[in-house]
Structure 1
Amino acid sequence: MCLVVLQNSNESLSVSACREKPQGIMDPDMEALSKDFDDLSEDFKNFATTHKDYSTRLEELVKLQGKCMKELSHQRYRMGIIRKSMKKVEKNPQNRDAVKEVEKKMKQRKVQLYEMEQALPKANGLYLKVILGNVNVSILNKDDKFKYKDEYEKFKFIINGIALFISIINIFMNSRVLDLLFMFLLVWYYCTLTIRESILRVNGSRVKGWWLTHHFISTVLSGVLLIWPNNVVYYSFRKQFMWFNVYISFVQFLQFRYQRGCLYRLRALGERHNMDITIEGFHSWMWRGLSFLLPFLFLGYAFQLYNAYTLYQLSYHREATWQVPVLSAMFFVVFLGNTLTTMMVIPQKLKEKVRLTERFEFLDKYLRRPHRQEVVDSQASSESEKKED
């Protein structure tokens, strides 16, 4: 407390009081705030050290990735040269046994290189380079790959559910706005699928080239439907197309269940070790699911052919525009490609069964047996410890 007195001979005295804090005493709230910031500063120093270490290791990782990719290319280049030499040497009957032994080792090396390649980044395809540039879309972590594939299946499931809902409404309602909204949804959906599936292929997914082509064609087909004039020919085909989308959404749901089951089964096998379940059991399980799905798929393909035929008949209508014959041709191409590709799956599955059996036998020999030995050693050591106790 201080007292200030202002005095003047001609003026009355005025007194004002003011409060001042003694110097050296800080507000408790401000003191706590300063202490919190000092603690945060200490944490920041530790974080800066950790981040510096992370940046250094990241640079080292990038260098190691580049080195491994060069070594991988070198291995495959040398293996190509050896294969050419084998063709010359195997002509001599005396060398056939030795050539077979080298060929067996080459197959084993091919499997080893494939397993190593899964942990290395891959270059984008032409389509992704056009859309995304040279951005690296490789997913190196197995869990992240699983999550991306799982999200891809969920995305298809959700969009197909929305498409099913709109299709059913369109069957019982005649709304041009809702029709355009549905066609635009199809265009966006198939455009997105082409990008997502290209990323899947970069990360090791064996998406067949036809299915990518199919989605490109479906994108164009949906775009043509979007700009189809609102005339008599359009309404002659409209209800049939909506019923077709209802059925396709149903088949997509069955495919979602099948693909999701395969995905989770593969994940379970990968976590437990692929060789814990026999290859015959694995394939019989997949084949049962696929054999159940095949009749629904072929019925959907027949529906596509029926759409192509209906549009072909409508193309002779006097009010038909250029969209009608184009859509007819596209539906026929999609029907033909889907049918031939699906029919090729059956013999390929049988061939893959033999190849995968050889591959798993090799992995079992070179990857699982050391693991088995470790388990046996650990069990033996634990038993000896128990005896000592």
Structure 2
Amino acid sequence: MGDSATLEQSAGNIDEQVSGVVEQAKELQDAASSHISRTSVEEQALRKSALSLDSNIHRLRSLIDSLHRNKILDPKLADKLDEDLQRARCILVDGDASSFLPGNAQGGFLRMFLGPINVHATRKDVQLKVKEEYNSYRDRTALLFLLFPSTLLILRSWIWDGCLPTFPVQLYQAWLLFLYTGLALRENILRVNGSDIRPWWIYHHYCAMIMALVSLTWEIKGQPNCAQKQRGVQLFLQWAMMQGVAMLLQNRYQRQRLYTRIALGKAKRMDVVWGETAGVDGQLWLLCPILFILQGFEAYVGLLLLKTAFVGVVSEWQVVFCGVLLVLMAVGNFANTVQTLMVKSRFKAKMKRSKSKQELN
């Protein structure tokens, strides 16, 4: 009886309850719209201030460079002012105000995979989370880059009698396709969010993706003359092991240097380590020979693949295609490494001149 009375009472005022909920929804919608409108106006004002400040920093840096070139401004003062402006820009792009700066344009690669989705993060903590995930991805893949080919080569000698089966090699190439696609996606997203990744390294991963895709259709020849037919595959696996060692060295040593540069206000928190760009002298003496040897070996593997195709040992078009891509990637890597070292050398020479002038004064 009690339950029936309660239900009858609820049925009597159900219309009033529903009407109250509808009114609450309307009031909440009006309050939310008002809040968004006020926030939009405030955000627009902050966006204009951020753009104005960024433009002013660029204008002042250009003015300082012009005054320095015309010997109107003292070099010591010019260096100090330039460092101050660099520090101000790091504060701007590394703080919460960076969300009001326009991001880099999204390229066709992101649109092809993700569609017309804006991947520019408006919050700095989200941007840094993307960068940390990218660093973790590189750490994991560096180990796999070293372990996967070394395992194949060990099994080739111990179990497979010096002749690699088709499936494990194709599995490795499929993993390479997944790896380079993941790297390219992450790097494009980082560039949209203000990172300094050089375009060449992204293009390099595009080439590596294409090469991995093409190599999946490459028939791995067995006996007879397996060693001769698979010479290019063997060398490629050895090069991949060297690449894994280089990636481990870069990730371990150079990231520490990048953190130091960020603390000094000479780099942004969204910057990433690539090549020798963040190394110090002792690290460069170790890394540069490894990088140049790696690039030379990459070109050698590409030329060897072309040779095997032209002399008729393995004449598939995939061999020629992969050989050309390896040579092009080696040349591009070498050119970018040399360019980076030249920029670094000019910067160090500038710092030495500034330091010697300070000592003389």
Give the TM-score, by structure 2 length.
0.65
1:299 alignment partner in structure 2: 293
1:338 alignment partner in structure 2: 333
2:221 alignment partner in structure 1: 231
Counterpart selection for 2:194 from 195, 199, 204: 204
How big is each residue's C-alpha offset from its partner over 1:194-217, in whole Å with a ceiling of 9 and x where there is no partner? 111111112222111111111111
Aligned amino acid, residue 325 of structure 2:
M
5 Å-filtered alignment, 1:316-335, equals 316-318=310-312, 319-335=314-330
Q: Do structure 1's residue 313 and structure 2's residue 307 form an aligned pair? A: yes
**Distance in 2 (alpha carbons) for counterparts of 1:355 and 1:53:** 58
**Distance in 1 (alpha carbons) for counterparts of 2:350 and 2:193:** 21
Instruction: Report if the CA contact (8 A) 1:258-1:290 is conserved.
Output: no
Cα distance change of structure 1 residues 112 and 226 upon mapping to structure 2, 3 Å threshold: same
Aligned amino acid, residue 196 of structure 2:
R
2:107 alignment partner in structure 1: 126
2:8 alignment partner in structure 1: none
Q: Do structure 1's residue 180 and structure 2's residue 164 form an aligned pair? A: no
1:13 alignment partner in structure 2: none
How big is each residue's C-alpha offset from its partner over 1:347-377, in whole Å with a ceiling of 9 and x where there is no partner? 21244558999xxxxxxxxxxxxxxxxxxxx
How big is each residue's C-alpha offset from its partner over 1:41-77, in whole Å with a ceiling of 9 and x where there is no partner? xxxx9xx99x998987666555444444445556677
Cα distance change of structure 1 residues 85 and 309 upon mapping to structure 2, 3 Å threshold: closer
Instruction: Report if the CA contact (8 A) 2:302-2:326 is conserved.
Output: yes
Instruction: Report if the CA contact (8 A) 2:211-2:322 is conserved.
Output: yes
Counterpart selection for 1:150 from 110, 132, 137: 132
2:247 alignment partner in structure 1: 252
5 Å-filtered alignment, 1:161-172, equals 161-171=143-153, 172=156
Cα distance change of structure 1 residues 355 and 55 upon mapping to structure 2, 3 Å threshold: farther
| SS of match in other structure, 1:315 | helix
Which sits farther off after the overlay, 144-153 or 309-318?
A: 144-153
The percentage of counterpart residues that share the same residue type is 21
Which sits farther off after the overlay, 132-141 or 236-245?
A: 132-141
Instruction: Report if the CA contact (8 A) 2:86-2:266 is conserved.
Output: no
Which sits farther off after the overlay, 293-302 or 224-233?
A: 224-233
Cα distance change of structure 1 residues 300 and 80 upon mapping to structure 2, 3 Å threshold: closer
RMSD: 4.5
How big is each residue's C-alpha offset from its partner over 1:19-43, in whole Å with a ceiling of 9 and x where there is no partner? x99xxxxxxxxxxxxxxxxxxxxxx
Aligned amino acid, residue 106 of structure 2:
G
2:92 alignment partner in structure 1: 116
Aligned amino acid, residue 329 of structure 2:
V
Aligned amino acid, residue 212 of structure 2:
S
Cα distance change of structure 1 residues 187 and 265 upon mapping to structure 2, 3 Å threshold: same
How big is each residue's C-alpha offset from its partner over 1:139-164, in whole Å with a ceiling of 9 and x where there is no partner? 45554444432321221221232343
Q: Do structure 1's residue 138 and structure 2's residue 117 form an aligned pair? A: no
2:19 alignment partner in structure 1: none
How big is each residue's C-alpha offset from its partner over 1:219-260, in whole Å with a ceiling of 9 and x where there is no partner? 111112111123367523222221121121111111111243
Counterpart selection for 2:343 from 345, 348, 356: 348
Ranked by relative contact order (alpha carbons within 8 Å, sequence separation 6 or more), the top structure is 2
**Distance in 1 (alpha carbons) for counterparts of 2:56 and 2:187:** 32
Instruction: Report if the CA contact (8 A) 1:228-1:234 is conserved.
Output: no
Instruction: Report if the CA contact (8 A) 1:180-1:226 is conserved.
Output: yes
1:41 alignment partner in structure 2: none
2:210 alignment partner in structure 1: 220
Cα distance change of structure 1 residues 244 and 202 upon mapping to structure 2, 3 Å threshold: same
Which sits farther off after the overlay, 59-68 or 245-254?
A: 59-68
Aligned length: 300
**Distance in 2 (alpha carbons) for counterparts of 1:131 and 1:306:** 33
Aligned amino acid, residue 236 of structure 2:
F
Cα distance change of structure 1 residues 106 and 312 upon mapping to structure 2, 3 Å threshold: closer
Instruction: Report if the CA contact (8 A) 2:57-2:89 is conserved.
Output: no
Unaligned runs of 5+ in 2: 3-23, 223-227, 268-276, 353-361
1:374 alignment partner in structure 2: none
